[in-house]
Each structure stands twice: as C-alpha cells, then as structure tokens.
Amino acid sequence: MGANVDLSVRIGNGTLANPVGVASGTFGYGGEYEGLVDFSDIGAIYTKAVTLEPRGGNAPPRLVETPSGILNSIGLANVGVEKFISDKLPYLRTLPCAVVVNVAGASEDEYRRVVERLESGCLDSVDTNGSGIFGYEVNVSCPNVHHGGLAFGTDPAQVERLTSSLRELTKRPLIIKLTPNVTDIAVVAKAAEAGGADAVSLINTLVGMVIDVKTRKPVLGAKTGGLSGPAVRPVGVALTCKARRAVSIPIIGMGGISCADDALQYILAGASAVQIGTANFVNPKTAGLVSSGIREYCIGNGISSLKEICGVAVD
C-alpha cells in the first residue's frame, strides 16, 4: 500500500510531508487557484516574491511563448510585505500545505526588513509553525530586476553575507534560491551553505530574448526575460547534480518539471524536493499528479523512502 512510502523531506528544523511544491511566481498567493486544485495534494506553496514596498512590475508585454517554454519579464510585481500580511497570509494560513515566503529585495537591508517584519508581524498566531509560515525562500536570482535579485546571486561573497545576515533573524527553514545564470553554481551553493542556509533551491529562470522580425524589436517590454518550462529541464537537472556534489544541505530542484518522471530525474540527480512552475499554467493540478506519480514509482520499485534514490544517478 502507498501508505508505506515515506515521501517526507526534512529542511532545517521543518518537515515537508510531500516533496512536491508549487514554484514562486506561478501560484500567486494561492487563492487564485481556489476551486481548481486540492491544496492537500501540494507539499508547499512558494509565494510570489514579497518585497518591502508594493511593486507594479515591468512594462508589458511580459510574456511570450518559446519552443517548449515561456519567456517572462514580470519583474517582482507584488503587493508588498504589509499587504501580504494583512490580505494574503490569512488565506494562506487556512491551507493544508506548507507556506514558504519567497523574499526579494534591492539591498541586504530590504531583505532583512521583509524577514524581520514577517517574523514580528505573525508570531501571534496559534499555527503549529508559530506563524503559518513554514520558512523563507530567498530570491537572489530574479533576472527581471535591475537592482538586487540576480546581482546578489552571481556574487558568492554577497550570497554568503546575505544568508548569514538573514540567518540571525529566523530559526525557520531558510532556503536560498539560486540562478543558473552563473559560471559555476557550485561556488554559489557553497556560499549559501557557509552562510547558514538550510537548503538551496534551483533553478530560477535563464536570461533570454525573443525578437519580432517584423518590428525588429524585442517582443518583451523589458527586452529580456527569464526562460522556464520543459525547455530548461536538462539545464536544471545538470545544475542539481553539480550542486549536489558541492553541498550537503538539501537541494530543492525545479525547472521544466511537468510529470513524475521529470521530477524523478531531479531526485535521482540529488534533489530532496521539487517545485512545479510553468507546468501549473498548463494544468493547475500538475503538482498533485507529480506527487502521486512519484508515490506510484516508489511502490512499483520497492522504494520505501525517497532518500534511497536521492542522487543515485550521479553519486
């Protein structure tokens, strides 16, 4: 019976019962998918990036489809931490899945103030985790903003400093989200580990551009955007493998996952958990289908815990 398969994942001092989450920026603040998904099928919802102040995002057009993928230049369009706490968190708290807040900022100070505000603003709750927040995913990898984001994520020294600075502020699981837009992701993953991260997640989107040959101009208002979807999966799997060799903290893998086999590739490459991004747009129920597919794979192959197969393709 399926009940014998242990799919749980430990991240820092927290445990996710189900390793399949929905990726930041693709599931809003959860409520948008009300009625379309059963949140108990989802391991964790990683929120849209939360910054100190609300942000409107980049000039449209913001989306264009590419071969087996999409290119987006949303930017960090979000309601800001105050509205997040007052308008979004109450709903998120009612969900049966873990809530990981994706945090972004233009400076170390901004990242700190967002985490501080969430830690102080939410502790009054009676939730098991104290706030309804499972942990933080620190976005040091957004390719769609000029300051912060990617600027942090490509410099290992800054990643280590930011991580240790945020580590002082919270005991909750701290996940650093890495960009694939670097020469050597191993160095950046090591920096996050050295700074005290509980896990690294990867990959964020790859910088790309689409040009309209009729107008002879880039299609996206921001000119460049971030590539995601099935097209990037082999890149994500390879980088998961590279990060696995570099660090001993858990890796949360993502990039182009649309079915259980895709997710298993990440797990076999060394990921302990996974996230579904672009595939949610194709079918909002993807995360549930992926987690039940992983369970079936385990049952069919006599695997009692995902840990048995984590990284075996490359160890």
Partner 1 sequence: MKISCVTTFLMCGNFDNTLAHNLFYVNMETPTQFISRIISNDRISEGFFELSLSWDPRAPVPMPGQFMTVRVGSLAVPLLRRPFAFAGFDADSSSAAIIYQKRGAGTELLAAARPGDELDVIGPLGTPFVIDTDQSKHVIIAGGIGLGPMLFLSSALKSRNIPARFIFGCRNKSLVPDTKMFTDADPQICTDDGSAGFRGTVADYINTNVSLDNSTTIYACGPSPMLTSVNKIAQSSGARCQVSLEAVMACGVGACMGCAVPVVGGGYARVCKEGPVFDGGEVLWERM
Residues that bind ligand FMN (CB under 6 A): 23-26, 48-49, 72, 74, 76, 102, 139, 142, 177, 204-205, 228-229, 232, 254-257, 276-279
The smaller minimum CB distance to ligand FMN, of residues 130 and 293, is found at 293
Task: Check residue 87 and report its DSSP letter.
Answer: I
The answer to whether residue 142 is catalytic is yes
* Shortest CB 22 distance to partner 1, Å: 10
Judged by beta carbon distances under 5 to 8 A according to partner kind, the member of partner 1, ligand FMN, none in contact with residue 300 is none
- Beta carbons of 76 and 149 less than 8 angstroms apart: yes
Q: Which residue among the candidates 97, 142, 298, 310 is catalytic per the annotation?
A: 142
Rounded to 5 degrees, φ, ψ at 166 are: -75, -30
Judged by beta carbon distances under 5 to 8 A according to partner kind, the member of partner 1, ligand FMN, none in contact with residue 232 is ligand FMN
C-alpha radius of gyration, the chain, whole number:
18
* Shortest CB 193 distance to ligand FMN, Å: 19
Which residues neighbour 128 within 8 Å (Cβ) at sequence distance 6 or greater? none
Sign of torsion, CA 55 108 270 128? Answer: negative
Q: Is 151 left (phi over 0), alpha (psi -120 to 50) or beta?
A: alpha
Interface positions, 44-73, toward partner 1 (CB under 8 A): 48, 56-57, 59-65, 67-70, 72
* Dist CA 162 CA 70 (whole Å): 30
Q: Which residues bind partner 1 (CB under 8 A)?
A: 25-28, 32-36, 48, 56-57, 59-65, 67-70, 72, 74, 77, 229-231, 258, 278, 280-285
Catalytic residues: 142
